[in-house]
Amino acid sequence: MVVMVRQWSVLGEGPVHAARQMALLFTVGIALTVVKALSVPADQQPVFVGLAALQAVAAAAGWWPIWARLHPWAPLALTLPAFVVLSVSMWAAGGLAAGAAPFFVLVFVWIGLHFSARAVLAVAPVALLAYLTPVIIAGRLAGILLSAALFIPTLVAVAALIARQVDHQRRDRAALRRAERWRAALTSTLAHDVRSPLTSVQFVLETLHDDEGDLPPAQRRKFTEMALRQTARIRRLATSLLDADRVDADGRLRLDLQPVPLRAAIDDALAHLQAPITVDMDHDVKVRADPARLEQILINLLTNALRHGEPPIVISAAPAPASGGQVALCVRDHGLGVPDDKREVLFSRFSSTDAAPESVGLGLWITRELARAHGGDVVYTPADPGACFTVTLPAADPAPADPADDRP
């Protein structure tokens, strides 16, 4: 029942709901036109019958499902039969606008609620023509001046004001949705990213707890250093991700952008993983990134390769070709790769592609969100053999343009 109500609802945004609301206006117009037809002389009744038929066709068109596949401005076409009906009604009334004026207002309010101020201005000449034509035919020059200088311009101003106000509220709602989305994402990120360091800390504590003095001092020191390193990482994650100011007023993730040497960032990430991973970089490049978020991206991709791929695992970085100042960072393993039927949802939240019992399906989704927050992205490409995940990030020092490029 709920599905049916939503399917036939007239309340909402977008071209479908706009068309349905105009269909309701036509339905009201049909009832008023029929009443008017019964109150006029018999020789005038065919005119109103024709207007009722035109409105019936327009009302039926308003419920046509095709509006969802057309341009967002497509429902504005329904104003044409509306203005025809209003213009003919004024002509039948001898050029008087008393009966048609409220419906002119309703049409412009409808435009303001669903379309931009530019759409209001685009429709204004048609409305002015529809209003002036019966007035000119009736010879009411005073009405011409009144409509040209006051009535239609006032309607345009009111509709444009409504459109701007609705657009402002839409932007506020969009910013709120972005902010809530990022706050939920940051909470999920914290829950996801503390799992690995907590596991390491637990391993160290259990090892030291069970030790009966057999571990040499150097080994004990190595274990405690690993635990301290992972604990520091958990503290950084909690501090940065739960910061109330991490999401700005526009609902976007606030980043501490700075030039970051990529090789050093990779080495720091490898120190947390303690795994055999090859770094293949011709030279050190710098990216413009938030160091903490970059660490998350690197660790998520490397952990994903360790968990699902096979060695050797290679991480490399180089300027992305034809990318306009971007750096491509690639993590490649030599496993089985991602099955074809799983690639479409690979970066979705709580992805079902990860069958590992310790995984919650957030790592790749988090990686993509963080990359896009930096102005980059992450993509998967099959390797032969294995999988390759490529993150693009803005370069900190874009290569200067060749002066020869400015010559004719």
Strand segments (E) across 182-294: 258-261, 278-280, 286-289
Q: pLDDT (tens digit, 9 = 90+) per residue, 58-113?
A: 999 999 888 989 999 999 999 999 999 999 998 888 888 778 888 999 999 999 99
- Answer yes or no: is pLDDT of 37 > 80: yes
Q: pLDDT (tens digit, 9 = 90+) per residue, 235-248?
A: 666 665 554 445 54
- 155, 220: one domain: no
- 214, 148: one domain: no
The pTM of the full predicted model, rounded to 2 decimals, is 0.52
- Answer yes or no: is pLDDT of 4 > 60: no
- 33, 112: one domain: yes
- Confidence category of residue 407, pLDDT binned at 50, 70, 90: very low
- 102, 202: one domain: no
Tell me whether residue 402 is in a domain: no
Tell me whether residue 253 is in a domain: no
Phi, psi torsion values for 252, nearest 5 degrees:
-110, 155
- 136, 170: one domain: yes
**Residues spanned by the domain of 156:** 2-174
Of 246, 272, 287, which closes a domain?
Answer: 246
**Cα–Cα nearest to 279, from 262, 291, 295:** 262
Report the distance separating Cα 134 and Cα 193, nearest Å. Answer: 71
Residue 162 buriedness (CB in 10 A; 0-12 / 13-18 / 19+):
buried
Residue 221, both tokens: 């020191």
Residue 48, both tokens: 């109103």
Report the distance separating Cα 36 and Cα 70, nearest Å. Answer: 35
Tell me whether residue 180 is in a domain: no
Of 226, 246, 266, which closes a domain?
Answer: 246
- Residue by residue, DSSP assigns 31-53 as HHHHHHHHTS-GGGHHHHHHHHH
Phi, psi torsion values for 380, nearest 5 degrees:
-110, 135
Sequence-separated (6 or more) residues with CB below 8 Å from residue 163: 111, 112, 113, 115, 116, 117, 119, 120
- What share of residues in the chain are helix, strand, coil (percent, to 5)? 65, 10, 25
The pLDDT value recorded for residue 344 is 79
Phi, psi torsion values for 202, nearest 5 degrees:
-60, -40
Sequence-separated (6 or more) residues with CB below 8 Å from residue 40: 48, 92
Q: Which of 115-124, 336-345, 398-407 has the highest mean pLDDT?
A: 115-124
Q: pLDDT (tens digit, 9 = 90+) per residue, 289-322?
A: 988 889 888 988 988 888 888 888 999 888 877 6
- CATH code at 237? 1.10.287
Phi, psi torsion values for 278, nearest 5 degrees:
-90, 135
**Cα–Cα nearest to 123, from 89, 79, 67, 70:** 79
Report the distance separating Cα 138 and Cα 361, nearest Å. Answer: 72
Report the distance separating Cα 60 and Cα 24, nearest Å. Answer: 10
Report the distance separating Cα 29 and Cα 82, nearest Å. Answer: 9
- 92, 224: one domain: no
Residue 195, both tokens: 């799992």
- 265, 296: one domain: yes
- Answer yes or no: is pLDDT of 347 > 80: no
Phi, psi torsion values for 338, nearest 5 degrees:
-100, 130
Q: pLDDT (tens digit, 9 = 90+) per residue, 142-157?
A: 666 666 678 888 899 9
Total of domains in the chain: 3
Per DSSP, the three-state class of 322 is coil
Q: Which residue carries 């739960």 as its tokens?
A: 242
- 168, 272: one domain: no
Report the distance separating Cα 225 and Cα 218, nearest Å. Answer: 11
Tell me whether residue 399 is in a domain: no
- 233, 330: one domain: no
CA angle 231, 256, 277 (to 5 degrees): 50
- 202, 170: one domain: no
The chain-wide mean pLDDT, for the chain, equals 80
- 119, 147: one domain: yes
- 169, 202: one domain: no
